[in-house]
Structure 1
Amino acid sequence: MTPLDYEFLRKLLKERSGLDLSSDKQYLVESRLIPLARRVGLPGISDLVQKMKTGSAEALVGEVVEAMTTNETFFFRDKIPFEHLRDTMLPELLQVRASRRALRIWCAASSTGQEPYSIAMCLKEFGVALSGWRIEILATDLSQGVLEKSKAGLFSQFEVQRGLPIQLLVKHFTQVGEMWQINADLRAMVAHRQLNLLQDFSHLGAFDVIFCRNVLIYFDQETKTSIFERLARASEPDGFMVLGAAESAVGISDAFRPHPDRRGLYRPNATRGPKLGVTASTPQVARAVAMASR
């Protein structure tokens, strides 16, 4: 791969996915794209680049972006965000949403499904407390391929051994040959949609909880600021946002403020005015803003 090939790929990936590769990441590009080049019958990355430059290989461009942006995931990854969900977010939301009896949760970089299904299992633990509630977990990702895997809910022995307690495996999965499939009731809790975070997502509406973990670390600061601003508009005024362990909104955007004693947990900044889909003059919003400002 020549320096010009690498610069072409850096620019392409930044425009299509927000991935901001530094000048010393050629090894990563080679490890991800050489297998793809061989799979499509090309000798190497330079040939891959030349084919993309013809302007008639949009499907190939999509495969390149997918190969570079697919990241690993596992059930209950990092544990702490799911403890926050069980111990902080859900108990509060059960109170403030008691009249509505509905919750909307968005996994903004859901990959192959371990995160949204981990959330679904947490919700199941609340049992009768959520009986009769309308629950929506929306899983979005740039890659259609990982979304299809998530929809199927089929995981290998290796995948279910990573982070998933044995009692939850027995309770919520059925063995299918050498694979494990998450049960239909949990699959029905998760809706899937392909989405690029660089593009407008206001059509999704407002969410009570947004998980946006381990994706913003790949973006430059300007892109992060833009995404935080739009995530805030997609958050209920008294909602929550969860970031990855290596991510922070502090110093990047004032759209969110950190929860005082819950690492990685954020609240929309109530001083910034009404959010998407609400009217500031309604009593419901007044109560929500009061809650968010505590």
Structure 2
Amino acid sequence: MTELDFEFLRAYLKQRSGLALTAEKRYLVESRLAPVCRRFAFATLHDLIGSLKLPHSGDVERAVVEAMTTNETFFFRDRTPFDMFRDVVLPQAIQRNAARKKLRIWCAAASTGQEPYSIAMLLQEAAPRLAGWQIDLLATDISGEVIEKAKLGLYSQFEVQRGLPVQWLLKYFTQIGEQWQIAASLRSMVEFRQFNLLHGFEGFGTFDVIFCRNVLIYFDAPTKSDILARFGHSLAPGGALLLGAAETVIGLTDRLVPDTKNRGLYGHAEVARPTALRAAVG
């Protein structure tokens, strides 16, 4: 792959997925796109990249973007955000929405489904407190391939051993041959949809909780700022945004502020500021 090919691909991926490739990621490009070359019978990466410059390269474009997207995930990944959801975010949302009995949650980088299904299990465990509630759980990802896998809810032994408590494996999954499938009742709780975070969120409405963990780290600062600002618009008053441990809103947007007691949890700036003013006056 020539330097010009690499520079074209960097700009191409940035425009279509937000992915910001640094120069040291060149080896990653070559290793991940080699299978795409074989799939579409391109002799070289140069030929593959040349095809992206042509009109109507839809199938190849989708394959390239999906190949370069990181889909690392597992059940209850990093555990703390899920404990925070169970112990802090969910009780607050239940109290805040008690009158209308409705809760909307968005997993904005769902990958193969482990994150939204982890949330679904926590919601199922909280079922007595949510009796009579309407729960909307939306899970999106840029990759159509991983969304299709997520809809099936079918996982290998290795995948269910990563973060999933044994008692919940036995409670919520059925073994099918050498794989495990999550219960139909939990699959029906999640609406999976292919979606690119670079596109507008307006059609989704507002959410009480947004999970967007370990995806912003792949974007440059202007892209992060834009996405975070739009998350701010998509959060209902008092809503919560959960980011990955290495991610923050600080220096990127003034629409969201960190929760002072819970690392990785963010809320509306306009909700937090009156509290800060009251404290200052007091």
Q: Distance in 1 between matches of 2:105 and 2:271?
A: 23
Match of 2:87 in 1: 87
Q: How far apart are the structure 2 equivalents of 1:176 and 1:268?
A: 44
Note the C-alpha offset of 1:5.
0.8
Work out the CA distance in 2 between the residues paired with 1:72 and 1:207.
25
Q: Deviations over 1:172-203 (max 9, x none)?
A: 00011111100011001100111111111111
For residues 162-241 of structure 1, what are the structure 2 equivalents within 5 Å? 162-241=162-241
1:52-91 Cα shifts (integer Å, max 9, x gaps): 2222322101110011013210000000100100110111
CA contact (8 A) 2:228 2:253 kept: yes
SS at match of 2:181: strand
Between 5-14 and 52-61, the greater mean CA deviation after superposition: 52-61
- The residue that corresponds to 1:280 in the other structure is none
2:130 paired residue number:
130
Q: Is this contact kept in 2: 1:38–1:44, CA < 8 A?
A: no
Equivalent residue runs for 1:1-294 within 5 Å: 1-270=1-270
Q: How many Å apart are 1:46 and its aligned residue?
A: 1.0
Per the TM alignment, residue 272 of structure 1 is displaced from its structure 2 partner at its CA by: 9.8
The amino acid of 1:190's aligned partner reads: V
Are the aligned partners of 2:71 and 2:112 in contact in 1 as well (CA < 8 Å)?
Answer: no
Amino acid at match of 2:175: Q
* 1:43 Cα deviation from its structure 2 partner: 2.1
Unpaired runs of at least 5, structure 2: none
Give the whole-Å Cα distance in 1 for the aligned partners of 2:189 and 2:180: 18
CA distance in 2, matches of 1:229, 1:271: 15
AA in 2 matched with 1:55: P
1:141–1:195: 8 Å Cα contact kept in structure 2?
A: yes
Runs of 4+ aligned residues of structure 1 deviating over 2 Å after TM superposition are none
Unaligned residue ranges in structure 1 (runs of 5+): 274-288
CA shift, 1:39, in A, is 2.2
Residues of 1 paired with 2:131 and 2:209: CA distance? Answer: 19
Q: TM-score, normalised by structure 1?
A: 0.91
Shift of 1:42: 1.7
Q: For 2:96 and 2:31, locate their aligned partners in 1 and report how far apart those are by CA, in whole Å.
A: 48
What is the aligned-residue RMSD (CA, Å)?
1.6
Give the Cα–Cα distance (whole angstroms) in 1 for the partners of residues 272 and 266 of structure 2. 15
Is the 1:173–1:183 contact (alpha carbons within 8 Å) kept by the matching residues of 2? Answer: yes
Partner SS for 1:110: coil
User: Alignment length, in residue pairs?
Assistant: 277
* Partner amino acid, structure 1, of 2:145: G
TM-score by length of 2: 0.95
User: Secondary structure in 2 aligned to 1:240?
Assistant: strand
Aligned partner of residue 25 in structure 1, secondary structure? helix
1:100-140 per-residue CA deviation (whole Å, 9 max, x = no partner) reads 11100000010100000000011111121111111111001
